[in-house]
Chains A and B, each alone.
Chain A
Amino acid sequence: GENVEQHPSTLSVQEGDSAVIKCTYSDSASNYFPWYKQELGKRPQLIIDIRSNVGEKKDQRIAVTLNKTAKHFSLHITETQPEDSAVYFCAASIPRAGNMLTFGGGTRLMVKP
């Protein structure tokens, strides 16, 4: 089955700096890669996603890049703010498995004021 690895497990940055979180996946059939933000005690919320036919997608301060050949994708957050502090999860989805998501282990991002 699919396996998703995520790094780093914790990331501390100064407010205004950029943050990058990286994920790798194992199944080349994966075609959808969402990123979720989970604040303490709350539900995961989708912040950005990318399909396998696209190499990069941007939404204001957040961007995601995908390298299908290397089977890795990354989340980039620019001009970080304290409210960006949360746990971020990457995930991958395979068409033959419906929309079952395989999640990475998560990255705890701390933005220091």
Chain B
Amino acid sequence: EADIYQTPRYLVIGTGKKITLECSQTMGHDKMYWYQQDPGMELHLIHYSYGVNSTEKGDLSSESTVSRIRTEHFPLTLESARPSHTSQYLCASRGTGGTEAFFGQGTRLTVV
């Protein structure tokens, strides 16, 4: 069973606030990903990492930033939340030599 955790599961926050969505995995996977999911749309890749100190932007333009200081931890930060950031955010990881990604349960973010 995959061990990848996202906190919080649900978050309602006011416009302009800074927030950090947490993602941790205990599988020692080197590759980690953040996707944004909206109803009826593809999962959009917003950030990914190949390992410690490696971060890249994905296909979807995002105002968020990420860091990868430890293998197991890949937090996503929004410096100033806006209503357009309202979405579900999914974190995933994949190990070297592995083929499929393992997903956390997601964080549903609402910015009011």
Query: Is B truly associated with A?
Result: no
Query: B residues within 8 Å of A by Cβ?
Result: none
